[in-house]
Amino acid sequence: MGTVWVTADEWFAGGRRIGYDPEHARTGDAGVLKVFERATPAAGADAVWLTMLPGFPDGSYGWAQVDHLLPESLGPRLYVEPIGQGDSDKPRHYPHSTAGRADLVEALWRHHGVRRTVVVTFDYSSLALLELLRRDLEPTIEAVFIVNGGLYADAHTHPWQGTPMLRSPLGVLGARGIQRSVVPFVKGWQQARMYARDYRPTDAELTELWSALTRRDARGSSTTAPVSCGNTAGTRTAGTSRRSPVRWTDRSRCTSAAVPRTRTSTGRSMRPANVFLRRRSSRSQAVT
């Protein structure tokens, strides 16, 4: 059983919403959207930041209990909330993409003057990290830790009650329904068996997860139902970002209006893995 040290309200109260212009990938008061971030101040310009990229569907709140356990001496930390999740805006028919999420991370790095960082990802945000590594721009990514993430966008299998169900019309309808009230949400998640076999989340944990998911008018909305296309959700991988325009290949469709038709690349099958990468000069070493 898990312990809730930080509630959703406490987590979001400790951060802020800032303006963001996705068209030009920059932050500012004049941004057309508002995105949530939670950051601790840096002690110096050369400090090594810890950048935490979230998974689906819990967003940045998924790191709340982890953050509680991290020592203050660890250094500056940045928690990113993608558009459509948590306390960030949830615009209708937004063109979600891996490249777009990478753009947001870069914009926040520039906003905070990050020069060096270690990046930790969970779930689908591993794809945004791979796009950032491909761009090889500032800041310097000293090391990465990929938790339960995929290295290929469109070659993963999932339990039928997870991504395959959520991509179906029935799954979309069910997802909308269980978001309307916390009671069916808790029961639905407990029955879905989305956690490890020997782990059973408490009602308190799932209640806080529901609170995080339904912020910003997401409750019961047809455009913000927690529908995931897994690691194919909104994916534009290497060679398909706006910085390197190459014709996309349309290989997946999501059934939620919040995640419209998306673009993916092809790749060989590889199971999700925990991967640690530390850069050594121009070479990298991976440990799985």
- The predicted-structure confidence for 78-132, as pLDDT tens digits, reads as follows 999 999 999 999 998 899 999 999 999 999 999 999 999 999 999 889 999 999 9
pLDDT digits (tens, 9 = 90+) for 165-206: 767 777 666 666 667 778 888 887 777 777 777 888 899 999
**Does residue 135 belong to any structural domain of this protein?**
yes
**Does residue 218 belong to any structural domain of this protein?**
no
Q: Rounded mean pLDDT of 52-73?
A: 93
**Does residue 169 belong to any structural domain of this protein?**
no
**Does residue 176 belong to any structural domain of this protein?**
no
**Does residue 268 belong to any structural domain of this protein?**
yes
pLDDT band at residue 274 using 50, 70 and 90 as cut-offs: low
Average pLDDT across the chain, whole number: 75
More confident residue, 224 or 55: 55
**Does residue 188 belong to any structural domain of this protein?**
no
pLDDT digits (tens, 9 = 90+) for 19-30: 999 999 999 877
**Does residue 108 belong to any structural domain of this protein?**
yes
% the chain with pLDDT above 90: 44
Per-residue H/E/C for the chain: CCCCCCCHHHHHHCCEEEEEECCCCEECCCCCEEEEEEECCCCCCCCEEEEEECCCCCHHHHHHHHHHHCCHHHCCEEEECCCCCCCCCCCCCCCCCHHHHHHHHHHHHHHHCCCEEEEEEECCHHHHHHHHHHHCCCCEEEEEEEEEECCCCCCCCCCCCCHHHHCCHHHHHHHHHHHCCHHHHHHHHHHHCCCCCCCCCCHHHHHHHHHHHCCCCCCCCCCCCCCCCHHHCCCCCCCCCCCCCCCCEEEECCCCCCCCCEEECCCCCCCCEEEEEEEECCEEEEEC
Domain coverage including residue 42: 9-160+230-287
Read off the CATH number of the domain in which 80 is found.
Answer: 3.40.50.12270
**Does residue 20 belong to any structural domain of this protein?**
yes
pLDDT band at residue 246 using 50, 70 and 90 as cut-offs: very low
Q: Which amino acid is at 17?
A: R
Number of domains in the chain: 1
